[in-house]
Structure 1
Amino acid sequence: MQEKIKALIQNQTWDLVPRPTIENIVGSKGVFKTKLKEDGTVDRYEAQLVARGFSQIPGLDFGETFSPVIKHTTIRLIISLTATLGWTIRQLDVKNAFLHGFLKEKLFMEQPLGFINEDLLNHVYKLNRSLYGLNKL
């Protein structure tokens, strides 16, 4: 989870701001998965920070839902480069593709458990970019 939080901070996904009095604030949750190899042994552990978008208010926090995804032309370019340069692809994993979706709305999220800034306990994240779990434009 530390790696995911670091990536979110580097991509300026949020700003830590004082808690607003009249805005809706969504929660956050860590989702953890264990990826297994074909033989059933542990391959790796994955973590993801998701927003609890079910607490968003339609018309206030979002209009219609949309999820940005990687473009097929980008994947084709990568595959083309590997063929041209004689590389081999075993797996193509796109990390943090959702981070490139900027938000038009003003959305606030609680600091995630385990990553709360002890000096700014009454602050929340003002989201600049989208997160998994959000209903967004």
Structure 2
Amino acid sequence: MVTRSRNDITKPKKLTSLSASIIPSPFLHTPTCFTEAIKLPHWQQAMAEEFNALTQQHTWDLVPPNSTHNLIGSKWIFRVKLKANGTLDKYKAQLVAQGFKQQHGIDFDQTFSPVIKHATIRTVLTIAVSNKWSLRQLDVKNAFFNGTLSEVVYMKQPAGFTHPDFPTHHCKLRKSLYGLKQAPQAWFQKVSSYILSEGFDQTRLFNKLFKIIFLAGPDSGIGC
């Protein structure tokens, strides 16, 4: 008779029983349009939070309507965010501009924005490992909202949030919105100008790579 121990077979370990709270399906439903979302209190709150964030950042100015305006619309996009354990994190409503209605030479010009290449990431990781440097990662909340527009863009007031005193006024955008053709470029110009103002140098080969050299002495330092 061959036992488990002699045959190098061990008894399987009993896994710990895990459980997660189940969210009722109506609360996981994602609306496809504003008309559907406005009927549900939790989505009303999500849209209000988004609208308040935009107004606090002074994303637009309300101006009288004009027939010369190339007026674009906007759309509410909805998403249910879950935590790692599957429980509810938050209801996210995002206002997206309908950039497909923009006209070149009128409300947008340049749209190119560089992307981080894999070679750039490998270069940074190689240098960090070679010098035993620690790496830090950051995520900018609502990044595109921080981009400043150089073009004049007019947009209809968001559905559900028309100003009671100026219902026919147009939104003259000051900041960028997701959906605009120039949104990625506006954000890159904003963040790159800030990084350069902090003393970093933009590399010629990888235009999304910024570097700074600092020599640390016993009680002083030299940066270049």
TM norm structure 1: 0.75
Q: Mean Cα displacement is larger for which, 57-66 or 117-126?
A: 57-66
- Higher-Rg member (1/2): 2
- Does the 8 A contact of 1:68 with 1:101 survive in 2? no
Would you say how many aligned residue pairs link Structure 1 and Structure 2? 117
Counterpart amino acid of residue 63 in structure 1: D
Partner of 2:66: 20
Gaps of 5+ in 1: 70-91
Paired with 1:67 and 1:50, the residues of 2 have a C-alpha distance of: 19
Partner of 1:79: none
Paired with 1:15 and 1:106, the residues of 2 have a C-alpha distance of: 11
SS of the residue corresponding to residue 103 of structure 1 reads coil
* CA RMSD of superposed structures (Å): 2.4
Q: Are the structure 2 counterparts of residues 99 and 55 from structure 1 closer, same or farther at C-alpha, using a change threshold of 3 Å?
A: same
Partner of 2:181: 135
Counterpart pick for 1:41 among 79, 84, 87: 87
Q: State the structure with bigger RCO (CA 8 A, min sep 6), 1 or 2.
A: 1
Counterpart amino acid of residue 141 in structure 2: K
SS of the residue corresponding to residue 89 of structure 2 reads strand
Counting helix residues as a fraction of each chain, which structure ranks higher?
Answer: 2
- Does the 8 A contact of 2:99 with 2:181 survive in 1? yes
Partner of 1:106: 152
Counterpart amino acid of residue 147 in structure 2: G
TM norm structure 2: 0.47
Residue 93 of structure 1 deviates from its aligned partner by: 5.0
Counterpart amino acid of residue 42 in structure 1: L
Matched, 1:52 2:98: yes
Partner of 2:55: 9
